[in-house]
Chains A and B, each alone.
Chain A
Amino acid sequence: MLDREMKKGSAELLILTLVETRPRHGYEISKLIEARSEGVLRFNVASLYPLLYRLEKRGWIKGRWIEKAGQRRRRFYRLTVEGKKVLAAQRNTWHEFVEAINRITTVENA
């Protein structure tokens, strides 16, 4: 399984990416992460929501209670303007990081 530390570091990036295209609620986000990582990454309630709240506190995502017809109300999170900037920056950082790692490990392996 992925290291806790690594998971933590990339968690923010994951969540920001997932709400980039459209607002999602917490359960949806956790299912998406599980699905797209094919089971590699899993967040439980205790780790997901504090993270969401932290991001919200920083103003990178914004949560809103939305009531759809015939359903209970749910809290949907969307990316803020600030969050978009952060996402772009973090993506760049991540890519550089990954590239750097790749270069080192590939060379090593080679």
Chain B
Amino acid sequence: MPDWKKEISRRLAGLKLAPSRESEIVEELAQHLDDRYQELLADGTSDIDAERLTIAELSENELFRELQRVERKTPPEPIVIGTNRKINMVADIWKDLRFGIRMLLKRPGFTAIAIVTLALGIGASTAIFSAVNPILFESLPYPDASQIVTISDDFGTTDSSIGMTFGTYQELVQRSRSFTAIAVARPWQPAMTGSAEPERLEGQRVSASYFQVLGVSPVLGLNFNSADDRLNGPNLVIISEGLWQRRFNGESAIVGRQVTLNGNSFTVIGVMPRAFENVLSPKAEVWTLLQYDSSLPSFEGREWGRHLRMIGRLKPGVGTEQARSELNTIARTRLPEFPRPPHASLDSGMLLTSLQDQVTRGVKPALISVLGAVVLLLLIACVNVTNLLLARGANRSGEFAMRIALGAGRNRMIRQLLTESLLLAMMGGALGLLLAEFGVRALVTLSPIELPRMMGVGVNGTVFTFALGITTLIGLGVGLIPALHASRGDLNIKLQQSSRRTAGGHQWMRRTLVIAEVSLALVLLVGAGLLFRSLSRLFAIDPGFDTSQLLTMQVQASGTRFDDEKTHRFFAQSLETIRQLPGVSAAAFSSQLPLSGELDDGYGVHFESSTDKPEDNRGAFRYAVSPGYLETMAIALRRGRFLNADDTANTPPVVLISESLARSKFQDQDPIGQRLRLGSNDGPWSTIVGVVGDVKQTSLTVSQANAVYMTTDQWRLFADRALWLVVRTRGEPGELAPAIRQAIWSVDKDQPIVRVATMDQRLTSSAAERRFALILFEAFGFVAVVLVAVGLYGVLSSSVAERTRELGVRLALGAQKRDVLYLILRQGLALTLAGVSTGLLASWAVTRLLTNLLYGVSATDPLVFGGVASLLIVVALLACYLPARRAMKVDPLVILRYE
């Protein structure tokens, strides 16, 4: 039979018709020619003649010409399922969108799972980003924030929280040329009394230059004036916008108003703007001047106490290194007009840190690791959705084949599929943004640490842009592989229903993705496991005292009516009353509380029997305590005796020292009877009467344990106006708090009591950054495991569905149902093991990035690695179980009959 189609196609070639149209015409005309040919043969015409006559029907040019006229004016078909013409970009995109939406609505289950998965990943990433952005990326909310630095002694450890002295401040102000301004600040918690309820406010005492260093001025009224920053200067305050609204209802006559703080009358001279973020003390609402004695009368006064934080603003053009070397030069060259006591000798040199680093330092390692964790989670979510799209693509292979047959170009189809995946991503992103909003709020309220720069944390413009960006990237990313996969493809094979070649192709891709998923999840879980073990180790550290059933709070003797005498009496009486309370087994006061998170009070120690030069001064924490403090805290006595009620102002001064201090000075000799001075170069010597166990003061991991204890009566330099109360209770410590407060107020009702917490609570918050990271790692890990389980389930399900015929044959040939179960389980196990192995390798490489947060645990701890791997394998087996069971239920008869 002659090939009519070839002849026809040849004549039609120049028309450039759409393939579908051309094949139609070819078919129809070919039939006509065939009929004609048969007719001619039937009439008796020879083959050759019949063929010639039939071909003549086509005529050389006429067909082409006529068809050209007809087909040229083809109007566009109402449903453009894919032609190569570029009619209208916008109309095309709009059609793509509508088509995409229709496709997604057709399979609501698939769409829902994909959207929720993406929402989880995008939501988590966005929430973390919004927390991390102001801390890691944005600069502080001050003009030229990079020029603001903190100034401190260089004691070699970055964990130093020992403060600076006013005397040093004065010297640097007068001698340094590198700064436009230097300032010092200390906490101040005045009690505001007056018409409304007495309230204890958070605030700061600052030098007049404080706001100048930060570069922010009051929005109402005036800034501080250095002329007022002198001893017995006027009582002036600047308040925050929040306090102005809350306490004064935003009244317009706020400037010049009188307020009563600590029993004294202060004049409000300014209000800070609402947007002002005081990073050194975020909760501060009220500021007043230090008003220390600038004549620096003695080394024993507060002018030389180490309790101030120092910041400075570098002059424009001056770098940190340059300023630091200048300060070091100043530190090295002592001038007679600037005498220094030994404990503030500046001999260790000066350290300059950018304020931004200082503020965020504590929380940076935790945040960075959490950022890493959330990236892993996002990747897992994307892998899952890609797998889902691949599976869906396999289901739609018939549809794709038809569209290709009808003339869809490959690019067009890829565009269509990318539109669908972008749609999914956008919807997931929108939901994710909502989740992020809640997530951020939860982060801020529930996080065990105070995120620095909390005012900057929130879903704002930058965060929204970030979310949009990753959503778009994800949409394109997850859609690309399935789109490429679906749009290629052998026409014939796809059109036939019972094909099996495609099964192999995309299954391979899906299996690889699942293995990737498992590895990522493993890394995440290993991180969580390592953090968890670190925390356990941390809390196994002995803090040096008994933390159970210990209630703590800070009590202040505020107000000018308290001179030293009255202060001592107030505290003594309060203690008496408290000790009478039922449920109290012991109680005491102390000037410092271990693990309280407050700036530590350190002074220089000078031993009498000293071959030490003044430069060898050791620093030690000062504990001015009521007798019984050490017993209440259950701090061990190593030698000698405890302090007792006989150690009063009229008896020879005695002290206890910590064992590390004893060891460093006296090695094995007995320190009892030796004498020392704390914090001053002259005055009476105190005799050491006992050595006590070390106590962790700053944090569980820092070992600065040198401490000197004396009774409050015998601490001569000044009277502590605020003391920490520790109470050992018989029952639940928290329950006794109201009774204790009442007891104190029965002595003096105006005294604020703050920072009430049990010691266990303090312990927990001292490891706050690690716990924060752990909580998030656990949350992400949980979600990751769920996603991985879903992913495994999906892959195995589709594998079972495609192997149904094979399984049916196996069963028919005599395999037990159990064998089929094991077959599928083995397949799932193989995937899991592959994922676990690559995951273990990846973890081994990656977890060393966590070392900042780990404590007492190596980054490759085998227990954690092994435990997590086992957990994942168990979860995976569970996820495989359902598809395996379904495989078991395959009825061989049904399968074979169907074929």
Contact = CB atoms under 8 A, between A and B. Distances in A.
Interface string A44-60: 11110111011001000
Interface residues of B, number: 22
Interface stretch (B25-33, B134-142, B540-548): B25-33
A49 B2 CA distance: 21
Interface stretch (B67-75, B416-424, B792-800, B856-864): B67-75
Main secondary structure of the interface of A (DSSP, over half): helix
A44 B31 contact: no
Contacts of B28: 26, 49, 74-75
B32 A54 contact: no
A44 B56 CA distance: 9
Nearest to A55: B70
Contact of B31 (A50, A51, A53, A72): A72
Contacts of B29: 45, 49
B560 interface: no
Contacts of B25: 49, 53
Nearest to B56: A44
B35 interface: yes
Main secondary structure of the interface of B (DSSP, over half): helix
Contact of A74 (B31, B59, B62, B63): B31
Nearest to A28: B35
Given A44-B57, A45-B58, A57-B70, A50 B63 contact: yes
Q: Which of A47, A50, A54, A72 has the most CB of B within 10 A?
A: A50
B36 interface: yes
A27 interface: yes
A50 B70 contact: yes
Nearest to A56: B70
Contacts of A75: 24, 28
A30 interface: yes
Contacts of B73: 57
A53 B71 contact: yes
A38 B187 CA distance: 118
A50 B72 CA distance: 12
Nearest to A50: B66
Interface string A27-51: 1001000000000000011110111
B66 A30 contact: no
B9 to A, nearest CB: 14
Contacts of A50: 63, 66-67, 69-70
Interface in B104-140: none
A77 to B, nearest CB: 10
A91 B31 CA distance: 31
Contact of B59 (A46, A57, A72): A46
A49 B29 CA distance: 8
Given A49-B25, A49-B29, A44 B59 contact: yes
Given A26-B28, A53-B71, A75-B28, A45 B66 contact: no
A72 B27 CA distance: 10
A27 B70 contact: no
A27 B34 CA distance: 10
B77 to A, nearest CB: 12
A12 B863 CA distance: 89
A30 B32 contact: yes
A102 B57 CA distance: 34
Contact of A46 (B31, B36, B63): B63
Nearest to B33: A45
Interface string A62-79: 000000000010110000
Contacts of A30: 32
A46 B74 CA distance: 19
Nearest to A44: B57
A51 B57 CA distance: 15
B32 A45 contact: yes
A91 B73 CA distance: 27
Contacts of A53: 25, 67, 70-71
B51 to A, nearest CB: 14
Contacts of B66: 46-47, 50-51
Interface string B28-55: 1101110110000000000000000000
A1 to B, nearest CB: 16
B42 to A, nearest CB: 13
A59 to B, nearest CB: 11
Contacts of A46: 57-59, 62-63, 66
Interface of B: 24-25, 28-29, 31-33, 35-36, 56-59, 62-63, 66-67, 69-71, 73-74
Given A44-B59, A47-B62, A49-B29, 10 more contacts: A44-B56, A44-B57, A45-B59, A45-B63, A46-B62, A47-B66, A50-B66, A53-B25, A53-B70, A57-B74
16 contacts: A26-B31, A27-B35, A30-B32, A44-B56, A44-B59, A45-B57, A45-B58, A45-B59, A45-B63, A49-B63, A49-B67, A50-B67, A50-B69, A51-B66, A74-B31, A75-B28
Those 5 A-B pairs whose CB atoms lie nearest each other, nearest first = A50-B66, A46-B63, A46-B62, A45-B57, A46-B59
